[in-house]
């Protein structure tokens, strides 16, 4: 006589603790290169985001804390970032950004674990870059030709000019200097730069490329920057 194999209960019928256990098991399978089912983890994210289940959110943070720390340690700007704050604080900020962006957004739905992790990683990158931008940004000073229509304006600052001269000396290209000025002096985001300066920059992807080059150059001269500033 063949015994009937009990069927798997539907995801919605599983408790949060049962989901957490299955999620951990499936992640282990994935890391070992074995076939895995990511829907237990997806359901855990759904309960945290959609149902606002505090236990589900707590377990999401517990299960993916190490993953976030690995991303942090592999980040190209980790050296400079960790001089400003701890790895744990960046991860905590990333989780907070993720929660703020997803918990009250009914249009956002993750169908795979990979999609949820991409969003988590983007939240971590955002936390790191915002910290670096705040660190490198001096007091606001006016843009060139402040009377130009549509151009933002801020009051002058002698200290800000001194800091800008230090950064400017590390950037050989005029275009990189201009983008750095708009990003760090004027606190503009890439899309705002394209909107305010359409005659100079027509594509936001160029701003992102130049910003990456700027950050890499500044990162290579961290000791010089800290000594000067």
Contact 135, 219 (CB under 8 A): no
Residue 8 counted as domain residue: no
Residue 9 domain flag: no
Token readout for 217 is 């150059």
DSSP 8-state class, residue 51:
S
**Neighbouring C-beta atoms of residue 53, cutoff 10 Å:** 16
Say how many residues make up the chain: 229
Asked whether residue 224 is domain-assigned, the answer is yes
Looking at 105, 136, 167, the residue that finishes a domain is 136
Q: How far is 7 from 26, CA to CA, in rounded Å?
A: 18
In this structure, the answer to whether residues 100 and 198 fall within a common structural domain is no
Q: What is the per-residue pLDDT for 140? A: 39
Letter string b/e over residues 131-159, b meaning 16 or more CB atoms within 10 A of that residue's CB: bbeebbbbebbbbeeeeeeeeeeeeebee
Of 102, 136, 170, the position where a domain reaches its end is 136
Q: CA 197 to CA 203: how far, in whole Å?
A: 11
Query: In this structure, are 183 and 215 located in the same domain?
Result: yes
- The residue among 136, 169, 202 that closes a domain is 136
Residue 3 included in any domain: no
CA–CA dist 121, 68 (Å, integer): 7
Question: Do 166 and 120 belong to one domain?
Answer: no
| Same domain (yes/no): 90, 185 | no
Q: Could you give the angle at which helices 16-31 and 39-49 cross, rounded to 10 degrees?
A: 140
Mean pLDDT by 10 residues, the chain (229 residues): 47 82 84 85 90 89 92 88 88 89 78 90 87 64 41 41 66 83 74 78 85 77 58
Q: Quick one: tokens of 213?
A: 């080059």
Same domain, 87 and 131: yes
Range of the domain at 71: 14-136
Quote the pLDDT of residue 25.
Answer: 86
Residues 165 and 127 both lie in one domain:
no
The count of structural domains within the chain is 2
Please indicate, yes or no, whether residues 188 and 94 belong to a single structural domain of this protein: no
Burial of residue 188 (CB within 10 Å: 0-12, 13-18, 19+) is buried
Residue 153 lies in a domain: no
User: Is 142 inside a domain boundary?
Assistant: no
| pLDDT recorded at residue 69 | 95
Tell whether 143 is covered by a domain. no
| Together in a domain, 220 and 117 | no
Domain-located, residue 122: yes
- Same-domain status, 90 and 18: yes
Instruction: Categorise residue 9: left if φ over 0, alpha if ψ from -120 to 50, beta otherwise.
Output: beta
Are both 98 and 165 inside the same structural domain? no
User: What whole-number distance in Å separates Cα of residue 127 and Cα of residue 132?
Assistant: 9
Same-domain check for residues 196 and 90: no
Q: Let me know whether 131 and 189 are in one domain.
A: no
């Amino acid at each position: 006589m063949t015994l009937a194999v009990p069927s798997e209960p539907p995801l919605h019928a599983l408790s949060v603790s049962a989901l957490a256990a299955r999620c951990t098991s499936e992640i282990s399978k994935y890391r070992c290169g074995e076939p895995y089912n990511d829907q237990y983890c997806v359901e855990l994210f759904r309960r945290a985001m959609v149902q606002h289940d505090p236990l589900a959110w707590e377990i999401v943070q517990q299960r993916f804390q190490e993953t976030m720390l690995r991303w942090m340690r592999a980040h190209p700007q980790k050296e400079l970032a960790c001089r400003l704050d701890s790895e744990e604080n960046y991860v905590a900020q990333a989780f907070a950004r993720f929660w703020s962006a997803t918990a009250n957004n009914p249009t956002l739905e993750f169908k795979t674990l990979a999609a949820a992790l991409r969003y988590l990683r983007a939240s971590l990158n955002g936390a790191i870059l915002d910290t670096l931008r705040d660190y490198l940004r001096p007091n606001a000073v006016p843009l060139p030709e402040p009377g130009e229509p549509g151009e933002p304006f801020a009051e002058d600052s002698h200290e800000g000019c001194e800091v800008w001269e230090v950064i400017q000396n590390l950037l050989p290209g005029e275009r990189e200097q201009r983008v750095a000025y708009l990003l760090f002096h004027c606190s503009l985001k890439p899309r705002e730069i394209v909107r305010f300066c359409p005659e100079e920059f027509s594509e936001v992807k160029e701003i992102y490329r130049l910003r990456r080059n700027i950050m890499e150059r500044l990162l290579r001269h961290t000791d010089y920057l800290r000594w000067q500033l």
